[in-house]
Amino acid sequence: MRLFWHRGDARTRDNAGLAAAARDGELVPVFVYDADLLGTVGARQRAFFLRHVKRLEERYRELGSDLVVRAGDPEEVVVDLAAAYDAETVFYNEHYRPARRNRQRAVEDALAGAGVDTDSRTDLVLVDPGRLEARYPSHGQFHGDWEAVPKRGPYAEPDADALADVRDGKTVPEPDADIELPGAGYGAARERFDEFLDYGITSYNDTRDDLPKAVEAPTHAVSRMSPYLATGAIGIRELWAGASDRYDAVTGGERRNVDKYRYELSWREQMYHLLYYNPDLAVSNYKSFPNEIAWRDDDAAFEAWTRGETGYPLVDAGMRQLNEEGYIHNRPRQVVASFLTKHLLIDWRRGARYFTKQLIDHDYASNHGAWQWTASTGTDSVDVRIFDPVSQMSKYDDGARFVKEYVPELADVPAGKVVDWPTLSRAEREELAPDYAHPIVDRNEGYERAQRVFEEALGKR
């Protein structure tokens, strides 16, 4: 008998460790409700993930088996389950977050002490980070090496006869969330991806930053697959295969659009590569600075940022989308992070923690890697990158369609005035929208201060 220990991979399809466990002999699928580890993610994402686990239980029952659920410390629970089912090997998938890696090592040691073998597989990523160099100066160089590694296709779902005939009456809690969550489980994830393949991927490069289209057809402008990838409802090989099949089926501009989507998946791969070689990615600057960065402690400004009341319309629309939906489109995601770390000069770690709390697509590697990139403490080859929130809105939402969707105080303000809001006089702002916030920092002063502080940290002043 074999056990498969489900961790952050609540699916039966395209699951590397599960497929390996099913190759010879029967297996028992198990899930350990680890309250300590689940407590480190936001309540929204925790609720979403546990709904995936409920769908996983249902799928195993359809296949004539069941998911064995226990609560407690995996170091004890997995050993007890291995003994109860007389398992000679426990299979599972590798994870790269330090807390999960520590859990895994503790379980491996405990199983070894009990005389039980372990078998772990690469599942979260297309390419095992250990196959690549430890450090790359740019994403382009990472992508070159990563692209050269062959990518395997999705793993099949185990046959029903590979699953032990078990019945388990225990289950996981299904907590409520303070927002409406997307449909849970593999089926919902696959349905969303199929819609994107049919209607969005062949125009992806042209529409990925089109904020009005993101309001009008959100799953066509971008895939919106990040919540499902981050919570393990669908496998990365399945997304790569679907995109690659479309790439092979089209030509010209459509092929360029599809290839851009595949390229964006490589950014997620690099974030995991960074975490693999830099386990302190969430707490320490990736880039070394000769001098300390003079971050500001400004609780009032931080709270205004979290509420979407900074007086910068695109920033506020992005933050309100985050608060209302647990998701934020990639373009305003970059803008709000830049505004916090540059115009407000508040430490990126505070922003990353807030995102962890609010996002349903929070991914430990991508969240902290992307925050560091935007904060100019990460892998970006540009010394000081600053996203100007006014010019960003002018370029990507000049009709204020996205902003007005989330900032109703500006609904009756002409689009051009919304774009220029931070540069208008106070009197004009009060006349146009008296209920909307005034800018909490001057646009030019914030920009120049950020340039000065980072140049000083870099030893260039």
Contact 110, 75 (CB under 8 A): yes
Confirm or deny that 33 is annotated as ligand binding: no
Confirm or deny that 362 is annotated as ligand binding: yes
Confirm or deny that 109 is annotated as ligand binding: no
Confirm or deny that 361 is annotated as ligand binding: yes
Confirm or deny that 420 is annotated as ligand binding: no
Q: Which residues does the annotation mark as catalytic? A: 264, 267, 295, 330, 348, 371
Known binding positions: 204, 261, 361-363
Known binding positions for FAD: 204, 261, 361-363
